[in-house]
Amino acid sequence: MSPEREFRTAAVLSAVYGWLLCDIGEVYDVLSFLTGRSVFTHELPSAGKQAAPHVFAQLPAIAGLELSHVTRENWREELAILEARFGPTLTLAPIGWNALADKSPLETLTEMVGEDRVIVVEVPPDV
């Protein structure tokens, strides 16, 4: 298992609560680190839900936050309050084995939308 890593508080909260408080790339980074493989766009919601209990076990102080009052207009102010409360960064350890660990992004997409809606394009190796 990889060593612990420090992430911006905004990225961790965005990853587990689904309220975007940072650049989306940071959310990908957090969830990819936690799950142990690159997370694709269609996997973000399920990866966040899967990672949340592990993150809350590691960081119980952030569990149970209510963020529904955060809006496009006030997110910076609300983030400043959260960072004052929890600090600018949070340290996480990977979650170990998880439902994404043994699946490819193509498998998770097929599970989500059905095999009949997935078109696989094979690119020749010399392209």
**Residue 97 phi, psi dihedral angles, 5° rounding:** -55, 140
Q: What are the tens digits of pLDDT across the range 85-114?
A: 999 999 999 987 666 666 666 676 667 667
Q: In the numeric block, which tokens belong to residue 89? A: 């960064």
Asked, for residue 118, whether it belongs to a domain, the answer is no
In a domain, 108, yes or no: no
Rounded CA-CA distance 88/80 in Å is 9
Q: Does residue 62 belong to any structural domain of this protein?
A: yes
> What is the per-residue pLDDT for 101?
65
pLDDT digits 0-9 by tens, 71-90: 999 999 999 999 999 999 99
Q: What pLDDT, on a 0 to 100 scale, did the predictor assign at position 98?
A: 62
Tens-place pLDDT, residues 29-66: 999 999 888 898 888 998 999 999 999 999 999 999 99
Can you read off the two tokens belonging to residue 15?
Answer: 């990853």
116 inside domain: no
Domain span at residue 91? 5-101
Q: Is residue 89 part of a domain?
A: yes
So what's the pLDDT on residue 120? 79
Q: What is the pLDDT of residue 127?
A: 72
Using the Cα atoms of residue 76, residue 78, residue 84 and residue 88 in order, give the sign of their dihedral: negative
- Rounded to a whole number, what is the distance in angstroms from the first to the last CA of the chain? 35
